[in-house]
Amino acid sequence: MDRYLLIASTICFLAAVVHTVIELRKGVFRPIRFNFFAIGLGFIFQTGFLWIRGQELERCPITNLFEVFAFLAWSVALVYMLVGPVYRLSLMGAFTAPLVLLLQGFALIAPIDVRHPAQIAANSWLEFHASISLVAYGAFALACIAGVMYLLQERQLKTHQLHSIFYHLPPLTNLFAAITRLLWWGFALYTVGIVSGFFTGHPLPRIQVVAAIALWLLYAAILQARHLKWLAPRRVAALCIIGFSAALALLWGITFSAELHPVP
């Protein structure tokens, strides 16, 4: 049952992507209402999936890679629903939907929904650590999306080649403000996530700790460079994409190592 909800959610995000592609092919780019409702509905189905899975497991549903990807996709949609309206909901939706589709599509297709043979005991600190970190990843994902939008807009302005999408993307200054705020939110949440990891009562694998701190340092460096105006906005936008790619790789590594060496 829960899997069907995730499939329904994925179909909603697919519809948003298809709609955007069709509009682009027509040379018209007005995915405002449709994308909003499609993503909103997809978010409701995602929430339903996590709720049912959580009830079944009697804990936060992030016990395997499948659930982690679903939770991450939910976090991306959640952050988008929270910040999207401020920065041109429709356009960010057009860029968010493909990412969520990719995450959920992979989770559904890959054979990664492996249930643990024994019920994993609830650990509120561990669940808090994992869930808050994933929401932070959602903010980093949105910063990455805003970064892609920034680079796209910047490229068109530099080369003087303006396409239909140019007129629908937010101004560079607004995009950069969005990137900065999303980075700060993501960084704050991730800091809370890392700190809470030390209260789980279990020794964490050293490689996970080192990688998590390395990622934290990367985002801290980006924010510091932004604050001191050492980096041009274009480079900050590019670093957001690199940072989120690193975050995804780290997430993969952490989940795999957790599956190999489960916390008792």
Partner 1 sequence: MNLFCIGLSHHTANVKTLEQLAGNATAESVKRQAGCAEALLLTTCNRVEVYAVSDKRLSTDEIARCLVGRTNRDVHNYAPPLYRYDDHKCVQHLFRVASGLDSMVVGESEIFGQAKKAYESARTSGAVGPYLHRLFQRAFRVAKQVRTHTEIARGAVSVGSVAVELAQRIFGNLSECKVLMLGAGETSERTARALVSRGVTDLRVSNRSFDRACELAQAVGGRAVPFDEWAVQCREIDILLTSTASETPLLTPDKLAPMVRERLDRPLFIIDIAVPRDVDPGVNELEGVYLYDIDSIRSVAEQSLALRRQQVAAAEAIIANHVTEFVDSISRGLNRLSQAAKHPSLGENPLRASEL
Query: Where along the sequence are the contacts to partner 1 (CB under 8 A)?
Result: 26-30, 153, 157-158, 160-162, 164, 166-167, 169-174, 176, 226, 229-234
Which residues have C-beta within 8 Å of that of residue 138, sequence separation ≥ 6?
72, 74, 75, 76, 77, 78, 79, 186
Q: Smallest gap, in angstroms, from Cβ of residue 240 to partner 1? A: 15
Question: C-beta of 38: minimal distance to partner 1 in Å?
Answer: 19
Q: How far is the CB of 104 from partner 1 (least distance, A)?
A: 31
Residue 243: Cβ within 10 Å count: 22
- Closest to partner 1 by CB, 67 vs 154, is 154
Q: Which is nearer to partner 1, 106 or 166 (CB)?
A: 166
Burial of residue 93 (number of CB atoms within 10 Å: 0-12, 13-18, 19+):
buried
Q: Choose between 180 and 255: whose C-beta lies nearer to partner 1.
A: 180
- Whole-angstrom distance, CA of residue 105 vs CA of residue 97: 11
Q: Which is nearer to partner 1, 125 or 184 (CB)?
A: 184
- Cβ 145 to partner 1 shortest distance, Å: 18
Environment class of residue 246 by beta-carbon count within 10 Å: exposed (0-12), middle (13-18) or buried (19+)?
middle
